Structure 1
Amino acid sequence: MIEQTITPDTHDLGQFEVRRAIPSRARTMVGPFIFVDQFGPAQLDIGAGMDVRPHPHIDLATVTWLFEGAIDHRDSLGTFATIRPGQVNLMTAGRGIVHSERSPQDERDRGAKLYGMQTWLALPDGQEEIDPAFEAQTDLPVVEDQCAKAIVIMGELWGKRAATTTHADTIYADIVLAASGALPIEAKADERAVMLVGGEASVDGQPLGLYELTVLKPGAEMTLASERGGRVMLLGGEAFTTKRHVWWNFVSSDRERINQAKHDWKDGKFPKVPGDEDEFIPLPDKQPNTVSYP
């Protein structure tokens, strides 16, 4: 039932760790997901926080989902939103957007917590250069019984559909299992994967490794279960037939489009972020590992 297991690269940023499962040499995408980062859990020192300075994106959508803590999001559309657990933030870069992510002051004052996921979705052919957009959704469908609770973040699962915009067929869910909890994993999506982000769980009796991205065989119905309790992210969707290229914060089916974005950022042609105009992340001098952290 398990097609592939990917151990993420871990980046120690001092007070918290970021684990990157894809893109990797083993696999570049699961459905439209082309970037999967898990960070925390972490308790930062009082006064400290996350400070991801303004940086650009093209031809993708970012999805931020928190288990604990809060992040202030600002972007070049003029958006300001504080991301908290239970709220999904979807930022569609399309032809180009700039944003920053920082811990709110009240979080810093009491010692910020960081625990969550950031993923990128490649935009499908014909939609890569759509207008940039931002949305935050809090009224998300919940599927639950006495021992399992799943929040449908994107797409349709277990007969319920989230209102979150999807550009390609996408599934994304946060599943919390109590002791002896179990939940069926539907087989409709072209590609699916799960990541254990806390506790313990198994798929059809095969244990999941903590923070590993476990890619499931297409078309197979299976059951996610936990003996002692655990938390699992389910993600996937439509398989892309056209290759996507990734360089720093840029994703595109066209390498020349990425080169143009490099020049545009270096030459200051991207828009500014209102309320966060003084800082930015420079274009890397050498081949980067996608997104830059402070």
Structure 2
Amino acid sequence: MSWLNCPDPIPGDAASCDPIETIIMPRTSDLGGFSVRRALPSAKKRMVGPFIFFDQMGPAELLVGGGIDVRPHPHIGLATVTYLFEGEMYHRDSLGTEIAIAPGALNWMSAGKGIVHSERERPERLTAKRPLFGLQSWVALPKHLEESDPSFQHHGTDEQPEFADGGASVKLIAGELFGHKAPVKTASDMFYADVTLDPGAKMPLDAGWEERGLYTIAGQITIAGQNFDPAQLMVFKPGDHLVIENQSNAPARFVILGGEPMDGKRYIWWNFVSSSKERIEQAKEDWRTGRFDTVPGDAEEFIPLPDRPGP
């Protein structure tokens, strides 16, 4: 049975023809050599399911000698989710993990009660121009796991479930979707997938998830008669059936994400996420006074606690 079977919008039914709750245009920051577009958190929407932070890195061509050089910094109460379309990043953390992430692979680092990591590039890659294009998001941890032990998971591109139907191709990054389940162990019910639609193709988005979003990567898609270009986040109304179409003459690429609502409000300050303001204050003091663990092989530098967390 095709997983593309779905009801089309009903003519004259406003709810079925307008399933979009919010459209977010990410704000852009120049990090020197490449730009970052931040869609979450936004004044319009703080979270989509467990997703509390969503950045697009690039696309960019990194120059010789320049590139990604994020010094060691801490996290609590969240999992960082890194997924690349092009390029490479080199991850090291206070658990002793050292691994390069390639396009289509997944790095999932659960901070729990506290972890420190750096994101740099291997020295041999700095001698030539190279691309960078990818996504980094954070998912908040449920309250009962906020103080869990930190952990790290890596899954190569060949481990991700891939399936196709009617011109729609899906790589499942995390969670469950269309009867498939990704290998990464998540802390809550969610979905996160990389989708390509051929010209003329269409696909549904499961109405069973209460909170759903779509972030456009390349090409143009159409939803309920509205066209959307790259670098936009659409958040959908709960329960509404919707169909994503490619009415253009070129392939379109996007990610879909979401899940069940979190078990209460989350606070975010710099790299810290928690259901408790007091816990964030403790984390700030712990980083200021050097009580976090260090990153083996990358302990000489670190990012100081900022006066303000920034945008």
Question: Normalization by structure 1: what TM-score?
Answer: 0.95
- Counterpart of 1:66 in structure 2 is 84
**1:60 and 1:121 in contact (8 A); partners too:** yes
Structure 1 residues 145 and 287 mapped into 2: Cα distance closer, same or farther (>3 Å)?
closer
Task: Give the alignment partner of residue 227 of structure 2, picking from 196, 207, 229.
Answer: 207
Residue 241 of structure 1, CA deviation: 4.0
Write the distance in 1 (CA, Å) between the matches of 2:97 and 2:133: 23
Check 1:225–1:42 CA distance in 2 against 1; reply closer, same or farther (3 A cut): same
Amino acid corresponding to residue 164 of structure 2 in structure 1: E
2:149 equivalent to 1:127: no
Whether 1:221 and 2:241 are equivalent positions in the alignment is yes
Q: Distance in 1 between matches of 2:309 and 2:256?
A: 30
Could you tell me how far 1:111 is from its partner in structure 2?
1.4
Code of the aligned partner of 1:50: I
Residue 4 (1) aligns with residue 47 (2)? no
- Matched residue, 1:292: none
Is the CA contact (8 Å cut-off) linking 1:103 and 1:112 kept in structure 2?
A: no
Following superposition of structure 1 onto structure 2, how do residues 130-279 of structure 1 map, counting pairs within 5 Å?
A: 130-138=148-156, 139-145=159-165, 147-226=167-246, 227=248, 228-279=250-301
Q: Report the RMSD for the aligned CA atoms in angstroms.
A: 1.2
The yes-or-no answer on 1:286 pairing with 2:308 is yes
* Cα drift, residue 104 of structure 1: 2.4
Worse overlay, 15-24 or 176-185: 176-185
Tell me, what secondary structure is at the counterpart of 1:263? helix
1:176 positional shift = 1.3
In 2 relative to 1, CA 5–49 (structure 1 residues): closer, same or farther, beyond 3 Å?
Answer: same
Matches of 1:36 and 1:243, distance apart in 2: 18
Write the distance in 2 (CA, Å) between the matches of 1:97 and 1:59. Answer: 10
Gaps of 5+ in 1: 290-294
Residue number in structure 2 paired with 1:57:
75
Partner of 1:183: helix, strand, or coil? Answer: strand
CA–CA distance in 1 between the matches of 2:130 and 2:115?
Answer: 27
Q: Percent identity?
A: 49
CA distance in 2, matches of 1:209, 1:236: 20
Structure 1 residue 17 and structure 2 residue 35: aligned?
Answer: yes
Whether contact under 8 Å (2:87, 2:133) holds in the other structure is yes
Match of 1:92 among 104, 110, 117: 110
Distance 1:246 1:261 in 2: 12
Instruction: Answer with 1 or 2: which has the greater Rg.
Output: 2
Greater shift after overlay, 139-148 or 94-103? 139-148
Check whether the contact 1:59–1:250 (CA below 8 A) recurs between aligned residues.
Answer: yes
Give, in whole Å, the separation in 2 of the partners of 1:287 and 1:83. 27
Cα deviation for residue 195 of structure 1 reads: 0.7
Gaps of 5+ in 2: 1-18
Counterpart secondary structure, 1:235? strand
Q: Give me the whole-angstrom Cα distance separating, in 1, the residues matched to 2:305 and 2:125.
A: 29
Measured in 2, the distance between the counterparts of 1:153 and 1:159 equals 14
Compute the TM-score of the two structures, normalised by the length of structure 2.
0.90
Instruction: Kindly indicate whether the alpha-carbon contact (under 8 Å) linking 1:56 and 1:97 is maintained by their aligned counterparts in 2.
Output: yes
- Alpha-carbon distance in 2 for matches of 1:100, 1:209: 32
- Counterpart for residue 14 of structure 2: none
Maintained 8 Å contact 1:201/1:229: no
Deviation, structure 1 residue 189: 1.1
The offset of 1:146, in angstroms, is: 6.0
Residue aligning to 1:115: 133
Using the alignment, how far apart are the partners of 1:22 and 1:84 within structure 2?
A: 24
